[in-house]
């Protein structure tokens, strides 16, 4: 009997933590969708409604608008880094690189909606930029090295070069239909990396 009561008490103490984590994830997913469409002035009440929680729950997790923007941004960066790991294990080298770059186009769309608010979140914005650059450079560098080691792309393109190219492609993000245009450019760019391949490097050990 005592052990059962102890188990029930343990479940009771764990449940709020589980619910809180679930609410936080729902809020971040909802915020991504709302901010991508409505931009930095989008209603926080709309975020709460989409997440299926009250506005008080939103403020308990994210006391300010900037805190919510930053959390969404960090979540997107982490998801892209995790995606690179999954693609390395599950997809052919060039296809992994292509799919990761295409996922970045969606990330740019989300970031566009939050750009103004992130700029106001100083001094955290500079730290946030450094954090995202470090994570994304490492992620794409891993995919580039794998594809080059397999002899499937040229080996003289570094992760910074690739990210710089992607930023240049997305500079037209204020025009209608920009995402479809950039996705075509990503395919052209990746296909271009496959030309001029010299000697395949030995596979990594």
Domain hosting residue 57, numbered range: 1-63
pLDDT at 149: 94
Q: Are residues 166 and 111 in the same domain?
A: yes
27 and 88: one domain?
Answer: no
Full-model pTM = 0.75
pLDDT value of residue 122 = 44
Domain shared by 52 and 78, yes or no? no
pLDDT at 116: 56
Residue 139: is it exposed, middle or buried by C-beta count within 10 angstroms (0-12/13-18/19+)? buried
Q: How far apart are CA 16 and CA 111, in angstroms?
A: 31
Domain end point (choices 63, 82, 99): 63
Q: Is 203 in the same domain as 129?
A: yes
Q: Are residues 129 and 74 in the same domain?
A: yes
For residue 173, the model assigns a pLDDT of 72
Q: Evaluate the CA torsion angle 195, 198, 204, 205 in order and state its sign.
A: positive
CATH number of residue 188's parent domain: 1.10.357.10
Per-residue model confidence as pLDDT tens digits over 92-124? 999 999 999 999 887 776 666 665 555 544 445
- Using 70 as the pLDDT threshold, list the residues of the chain that sit under it: 1-16, 40, 109-125, 198-205
Same domain, 191 and 127: yes
| Count of the separate structural domains present in the chain | 2
Q: What is the 3-state secondary structure (H, E, C) of 48-84?
A: HHHHCCCHHHHHHHCCCHHHHHHHHHHHHHHHHHHHH
Whole-angstrom CA distances from 10 to 13, 21, 22, 54 are: 5, 17, 18, 27
The reply to whether 99 and 134 lie within a common domain is yes
Please tell me the predicted confidence (pLDDT) of residue 200. Answer: 44
22 shares its domain with 45: yes
Q: How far is CA 127 from CA 15, 106, 119, 160, in A?
A: 34, 22, 12, 18
């Amino acid at each position: 009997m005592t052990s059962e009561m102890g188990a029930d008490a343990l479940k009771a103490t764990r449940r709020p933590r589980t619910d809180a984590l679930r609410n936080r994830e729902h809020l971040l997913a909802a915020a991504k969708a709302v901010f991508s469409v409505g931009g930095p002035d989008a209603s926080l009440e709309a975020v709460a409604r989409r997440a299926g929680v009250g506005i008080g729950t939103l403020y308990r997790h994210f006391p300010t608008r900037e805190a919510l923007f930053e959390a969404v941004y960090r979540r997107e960066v982490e998801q892209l880094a995790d995606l690179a790991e999954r693609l390395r294990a599950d997809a052919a080298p060039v296809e992994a690189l292509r799919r990761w770059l295409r996922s970045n186009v969606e990330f740019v769309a989300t970031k566009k909606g939050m750009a103004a608010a992130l700029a106001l979140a100083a001094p955290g914005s500079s730290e946030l930029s450094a954090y995202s650059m470090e994570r994304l450079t490492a992620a794409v560098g891993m995919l580039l090295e794998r594809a080059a080691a397999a002899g499937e792309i040229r080996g003289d393109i570094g992760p910074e070069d690739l990210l710089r190219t992607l930023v240049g492609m997305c500079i037209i993000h204020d025009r209608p239909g920009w995402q479809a245009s950039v996705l075509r450019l990503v395919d052209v760019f990746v296909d271009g990396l496959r030309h001029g391949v010299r000697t395949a490097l030995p596979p990594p050990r």
